[in-house]
Amino acid sequence: MLAYLPKNFSSAQVPSSIEVEVFDGDVDQQPSSLDRVEIYVPTYMGSNAVYEIIREMPNLRYIQLLTAGVDKVTPLVRDGITLCNARGVHDLGTAEHTLGLILSSMRGIVETARAGGEGWRTRRIRPTLLNSEVTIVGAGSIGREIGRLIEALGGKVSFVSRSGSGGTTAFGDADRLFRSADVIVAVVPLTIETKSLFDASFFSKVKVGALFVNVARGEVVDQGAMVDALRIGRFNAALDVVTPEPLPSDSELWTMPNVIITPHVGGATKSFFYKGIALIEENFSRFARGEELLNVIKGDY
């Protein structure tokens, strides 16, 4: 059977029964016959072309994503294809990045950097995570890792989820948390239910001076409503994801003093490659043996 694997992960040790062809960062170099591809690993941070090529693989049986999110791929999955995400691969990297965004905003690090030679004028007593109320919307493995790091610095963490199970609060019942939180972190998957979940109604509940952090997907936020609230200085935002991506250079978000933006790099760390290779090796071996794969996406993600 033929597997199509991005070159950054070509060092993975796979069973001898699996033939591997390596492609570049996107899909400029295609295997000799897409008809033979049964296993496909789209490259990380590639263009939409790395997903659209799935339509040209009639015998595809297994897709191994290197992302936790599956929203770009689910519309392309047909009967007979098993889809697996990279749950667990990005936990620590995204959690570290989230913590960096929070601290950069709370401690005024970006404000001072922007001030250049006038940086000393930004000196003042700043907020801290110690005893801060932090509400994390999304209680999956990434959300839990973010919570662990925040608690290590003395933050008081509450989790919100769609169902409200597992010691979490249901989103529809979380108004009290949203009104009192010093920091709100969005780390939910993008689904039909979560598209524009953070809308004008939500932003009207956010405490004045609070920090809203999005490390999920840009589309889970009604960006227009968020910009309106940010424009009047109601709260601060630290965003690793926006819509569209890349964010146009003339977007108002770039110049807002209460906004920090990074270019969707929360999971882009060296640890991702080590963990990604380990996941590929384990799941390829399971697939060759006919065993159940890890991180299979079933039903409503």
121 is catalytic: no
CA distances from 255 to 97, 163, 249, 261 (A): 21, 37, 10, 10
Distance CA 114, CA 109 (A): 9
Distance CA 47, CA 44 (A): 9
Find out whether 37 and 158 touch, Cβ atoms under 8 Å. no
Question: Is pLDDT above 50 for 153?
Answer: yes
Annotated catalytic residue, options 19, 52, 56, 245: 245
pLDDT at 33: 80
| Angle at CA of residue 158, ends 155 and 159, nearest 5° | 135
Is cis: bond before 15, omega within 30 of 0? no
Domain at 91-261, CATH class:
alpha beta
Please, which residues bridge with residue 70 across strands? Answer: none
Non-local (6+) Cβ contacts of 33 within 8 A are: none
pLDDT at 213: 98
Per-residue pLDDT reduced to its tens digit, 168-212: 999 999 999 999 999 999 999 999 999 999 999 999 999 999 999
Closest by CA to 60, choosing from 42, 31, 82, is 82
Element (H, E) at 260: strand 259-261
Per-residue pLDDT reduced to its tens digit, 93-129: 999 999 999 999 999 999 999 999 999 999 999 999 9
Find out whether 26 and 47 touch, Cβ atoms under 8 Å. yes
What percent of the chain stands above pLDDT 90?
87
Mean pLDDT of 147-157: 98
Find out whether 183 and 210 touch, Cβ atoms under 8 Å. yes
Residue extents of the structural domains in the chain: 2-89+269-289, 91-261
Per the prediction, the chain carries an average pLDDT of 94
Question: Is pLDDT above 90 for 298?
Answer: no
Element (H, E) at 289: helix 270-289
Per-residue pLDDT reduced to its tens digit, 5-26: 999 899 999 999 999 999 876 6
Structure tokens at 271: 């640890």
Closest by CA to 3, choosing from 291, 283, 219, 223, is 283
For 17, phi and psi rounded to 5 degrees?
A: -75, -10
Annotated catalytic residue, options 217, 219, 281, 292: 217
Annotated catalytic residue, options 264, 281, 282, 292: 264
Distance CA 5, CA 20 (A): 7
Structure tokens at 85: 């995400």
Find out whether 239 and 259 touch, Cβ atoms under 8 Å. yes
CA distances from 223 to 197, 213, 215 (A): 11, 13, 14
Confidence of residue 29 (pLDDT cuts 50, 70, 90): low
Distance CA 62, CA 96 (A): 31
Q: Rounded to two decimals, what is the model's pTM?
A: 0.89
126 is catalytic: no
Angle between the N-to-C axes of helices 141-152 and 91-106, in degrees from 0 to 180, rounded to the nearest 10: 50
Non-local (6+) Cβ contacts of 205 within 8 A are: 175, 178, 179
217 is catalytic: yes
CATH number of the structural domain 2-89+269-289: 3.40.50.720
- Residue where the block lists tokens 């905003």: 105
